[in-house]
Amino acid sequence: MEASDPPLAQVLAEANLHPQPFHREHPDELHTPSWHAASNRPIVDGKFNDPETGEVRDAGGLVFSGPPAVDIIITNIHEGSSNNIFRAQLPFRMEKLLAWILRVVGERKLQLDSLNATPYAIRVVLAHELNEGQFHEIAHEMATGIWGQQ
């Protein structure tokens, strides 16, 4: 990038504000609209309703996938392990994601401290001895492995 190029975060945010027509990459994938991070409001046609002023404004800055995307947070509280946190928003139904995550827990024989699931959020707390690399590998599999399942 040259000095005059916009920061990568700005380029990515602008790309999310004006997405291409929805195209499924997985048969169970849901369309998930972008949300304006600062106002916590959905973005429609590149605009959001500003809760401070009531005005409809052009969206800019950070965005994230909102409902019906499921927000997943995975952490590990094992005493001898690194304290890492992994977070992702995925465009699948909670039940499908929960089944996939529990499959990973079972196949890898992971110790699970707690699990909480609501329609738009899953919280996984592991209590398993893992180094940082192992944690990231497992969290990545829990969050993105579902894309390989048809």
For residues 125 and 84, the model is more confident at 125
Confidence (pLDDT) at 135: 94
Each residue's pLDDT tens digit, 32-90: 767 777 887 888 888 888 888 999 988 888 877 767 789 999 999 998 877 789 999 88
Whose tokens are 């997985």? That residue is 26
**Alpha carbon distance 150, 140 (integer Å):** 18
Q: What is the mean pLDDT of the chain?
A: 82
Residue 71's contacts (CB-CB under 8 Å, 6 or more residues apart) are 87, 88, 89, 120, 121, 122
Each residue's pLDDT tens digit, 19-31: 555 566 666 666 6
Q: Is the pTM of this model over 0.85?
A: no
Whether 1 has a pLDDT exceeding 50, the answer reads no
Confidence (pLDDT) at 134: 94
Give domain limits for the chain: 8-65, 70-148
Residue 4's contacts (CB-CB under 8 Å, 6 or more residues apart) are none
